Structure 1
């Protein structure tokens, strides 16, 4: 499973994913911190990566595009610190891998994970 972290996700979370055995990159790693959301979606689709973000725009863009990929994990947390995101991401990885592989938007808040399958 491959991940692409948007700017709201800590590069240390990307390193945490790598340490867990996942293929993960951060936009910063590639000098793409100013890449538009549309181009981020394009990159993730081309590279078959799941987007990790705190940006709600990705759900809207995927709904408009009506494409089955890429999957997106949107963190909607009261505390979006690295530790909290990693704790919630651990739960996603334990419970939602098949959903991500199938093509989905996961909205992750402090209490639950909502799944919407693509295309919308």
Structure 2
């Protein structure tokens, strides 16, 4: 997520300061601080849509994490395309397309 920081975005990386937080606690933190939640963990989608957990916005990366260049390019493409419109949306980023729906 260094690329996002370098692009001037305010990024909080959970593993840097609170790796032991549960998924629900991570969502609560994102909600309290008004942050988008970026993850590769599909469980967050279930928490939002099946268990009605609240988050300002959710971005699910469905790209091999070992492919750093593609992850970076697709993520920056999504930020450029949606901008502030990422808030209030569930966006899935894969190798080919960006899918988006309201939360």
Same topology, TM > 0.5: yes
Q: How does 1:21-100 map to 2 (within 5 A)?
A: 21-30=8-17, 32-63=18-49, 64-65=51-52, 67=54, 69-77=55-63, 79-81=64-66, 82-100=68-86
Tell me the residue number matched to 1:114.
99
CA contact (8 A) 2:4 2:76 kept: no
* Structure with more relative contact order (C-alpha pairs < 8 Å, separation 6 or more): 1
Deviation (angstroms), 1:29: 2.1
4+ aligned runs moved over 6 Å, structure 1:
none
TM-score normalised by length of structure 2: 0.88
Deviation per CA, 1:63-85: give whole Å up to 9, x if none. 12164x321110112x2232221
CA contact (8 A) 2:62 2:92 kept: yes
- Structure 1 unpaired stretches of 5+: 1-12
For these two proteins, the number of residue pairs brought into alignment is 101
